[in-house]
Amino acid sequence: MSIGSRIAWDDTVLPFQLDLADVRGRLARLDGTLEEILSQHDYPPQVEALVAEMALLTALIGGSIKLRWKLSLQVQAKGALRMIATDYYAPTKEGEPARIRAYASFDEDKLTDAPAFEQVGEGYFAILIDQGQGTAPYQGITPLAGGSLAACAESYFAQSEQLPTRFNLMFGTSQTPGDSRETWRGGGIMLQHMPKASPFAQDGGTGEAGLLRPSDIVSGDDEENWNRVNFHVDTVDELELIGPHLPSTDLLVRLFHEEGPRVFDSQPIRFGCTCSEERVRQSLSIYSARDIEKMTTDDGRVTADCQFCGAHYDLDPASVGFEADGE
Query: What gap in Å lies between CA 229 and CA 255, rounded to an integer?
Result: 8
CATH code at 309?
3.90.1280.10
Helix (H) or strand (E) holding 302: strand 302-305
Predicted local confidence at residue 26, as pLDDT: 97
Whole-structure pTM value: 0.87
- Residue 32, domain extent: 3-271
Q: What is the mean pLDDT of residues 131-142?
A: 88
Whether residue 122 sits in one domain with residue 65: yes
Domains identified in the chain, total number:
2
97 C-beta neighbours (distance < 10 Å), count:
16
Percent of the chain residues topping a pLDDT of 70: 92
Q: What is the mean pLDDT of residues 182-191?
A: 94
Predicted local confidence at residue 178, as pLDDT: 67
Torsion sign over Cα 145, 150, 155, 161: positive
- pLDDT > 90? residue 176: no
Please report whether residue 313 resides in a domain: yes
Helix orientation angle between 45-62 and 32-39, rounded to the nearest 10 degrees: 130
- pLDDT > 60? residue 283: yes
Helix orientation angle between 149-156 and 45-62, rounded to the nearest 10 degrees: 30
Query: What confidence tier does 83 reach under pLDDT thresholds 50, 70, 90?
Result: very high
Whether residue 129 sits in one domain with residue 36: yes
Please report whether residue 325 resides in a domain: no
Q: What is the mean pLDDT of residues 106-111?
A: 96
Predicted local confidence at residue 1, as pLDDT: 34
Whether residue 31 sits in one domain with residue 128: yes
